[in-house]
Amino acid sequence: MSLMFSSYRKTKKGSIVKVVRECYLRDDIHCGRESCTQCKKFKLDNDEQFAPSSGYLVDNARLSLNKLYPKQAHYIVPDFNTVTNQIDVIADPAFGNDVIILQTIWKRIKSNINVYSKLKELISSRRFYLFDNEFFRQTFRCRNPNETIDEYRENLCREACEWLQKHFTTIHIIYLIDSIDNENVKSSDECHFRIHSIADYVQNFHNPINLMDKLSANVQQNEDGGNKTQKNDFLYDEHLPLHLVLPKIKSGQLHKGCYHSNRYNFLEGTVTVMCDGEEMNVNIEGRANINRAINEDIVAIEILPRSEWKSKIHDTILDEELIGDDDGEDAKNHHSN
Ligand SMILES: [Zn+2]
């Protein structure tokens, strides 16, 4: 079966030409898992530039690497924004192997020379597999008239994940997205693969500090419109030594509690502490305030003066009755019942 694609291009001289491309869909695309019995009749990509020197995807992939999947083998499939914005997180040896790069993403990355060359290096040197989902009859389809080009690409990626998940059965497919938008992270009931934001996934590594630093530096850089100097200038406050912390906890200047990071935004979290005999959840925001704490760390916090407390919309909704008591005053803390 072949499909014909046509597009119109403008030449250097300014005339418009119609470009027709013929695409043959294949049935013999290998999934990338080296031991796959269903695919063993197909050749693994032996094109020299894409043959990883350390072999193809393995059965016990990423075991005990991440607390979200402590005893479950899984492959990572990053989306376009994750590859583009977080390539140095993905390329870090601590991030691990067994990553599937979809052809839909690979085609778009080619226009970004920096990311393209890093990704090419990863595919040839580590267990990163380029899955030709757009040449494969099972995972390719034409664009529906009601889909925008972005929706179409995203749907192709998710449909490839779904096929891979059904094909691998016991090995989880994790679609990693670079978004803190809760809607995108939610898996729909129909899909069998898992979806995580890269921040959520990375902060669940056993030792995530370096990766988190790279991740938050990228977030900062993106917020600053690509200002690279900002990335390297950020310095955390020193952690206070224990002999200074303990007396301050005793005197009530600092409060001891367990840090819970927000699973949808790694730059936010809460610490539950006892303050004046009352339990309160204190919101912690931003890299400087979080100061390298990771989920479930026992930390000591200082409560800011009331004038610096920020209001949270959900606090006022959840605690409607409290508004009267507080005269609607901004609250940094959410009092739990
Ligand atoms: Zn296979």
Q: Which of 273, 34, 330 is closest to 168 using CA atoms? A: 34
Q: Which helix (DSSP H) or strand (DSSP E) does residue 184 occupy?
A: helix 182-185
CA of 207 to the centre of ligand 1 (A): 32
Same domain, 121 and 201: yes
Among 223, 256, 275, residue at a domain's last position: 223
CA of 329 to the centre of ligand 1 (A): 60
**pLDDT score recorded for residue 166:** 96
Q: Report the alpha-carbon distance of residue 197 to residue 170 in Å, rounded.
A: 22
Same domain, 179 and 110: yes
Instruction: Using the predicted structure, report yes or no on whether residue 317 has a pLDDT greater than 50.
Output: no
CA of 29 to the centre of ligand 1 (A): 9
Most confident among 100-104, 107-111, 308-312 (mean pLDDT):
100-104
CA of 83 to the centre of ligand 1 (A): 24
Q: Is 104 among the domain residues? A: yes
**pLDDT score recorded for residue 281:** 85
Same domain, 116 and 184: yes
CA of 34 to the centre of ligand 1 (A): 8
The pLDDT > 90 percentage for the chain reads 42
Instruction: Using the predicted structure, report yes or no on whether residue 186 has a pLDDT greater than 90.
Output: no
Same domain, 173 and 203: yes
Same domain, 70 and 209: yes
**pLDDT score recorded for residue 295:** 80
Buried b (16+ CB within 10 A) or exposed e, 249-273: eeeeebbebebbbbbeebbbbbbeb
Q: Is 313 among the domain residues? A: yes
CA of 40 to the centre of ligand 1 (A): 7
Same domain, 261 and 307: yes
CA of 142 to the centre of ligand 1 (A): 24
Same domain, 218 and 247: no
Residues pairing with 9 in the sheet: 17
Q: Is 233 among the domain residues? A: no
- Could you give phi then psi for residue 135, rounded to 5 degrees? -100, -5
Mean pLDDT of 112-127: 93
CA of 270 to the centre of ligand 1 (A): 43
At 219, which CATH number? 3.40.50.1010
DSSP letter assigned to residue 307: G
Same domain, 62 and 151: yes
Q: Which of 127, 131, 115, 117 is closest to 61 using CA atoms? A: 127
Report how many domains make up the chain.
2
Q: Which residue has the tokens 């595919």?
A: 123
Same domain, 143 and 253: no
CA of 172 to the centre of ligand 1 (A): 14
CA of 133 to the centre of ligand 1 (A): 13
Segment 49-87, tens digit of pLDDT: 677 777 899 999 999 899 999 899 999 999 999 999 999
CA of 241 to the centre of ligand 1 (A): 53
Q: Report the alpha-carbon distance of residue 333 to residue 47 in Å, rounded.
A: 58
CA of 74 to the centre of ligand 1 (A): 14
> How sure is the predictor about 298, in pLDDT bands with cuts at 50, 70 and 90?
confident
Among 166, 192, 223, residue at a domain's last position: 223
At 253, which CATH number? 2.40.50.690
CA of 184 to the centre of ligand 1 (A): 28
Residues pairing with 17 in the sheet: 9
Domain of 86 in residue numbering reads as: 26-223
CA of 273 to the centre of ligand 1 (A): 51
CA of 1 to the centre of ligand 1 (A): 22
CA of 128 to the centre of ligand 1 (A): 15
Q: Is 13 among the domain residues? A: no
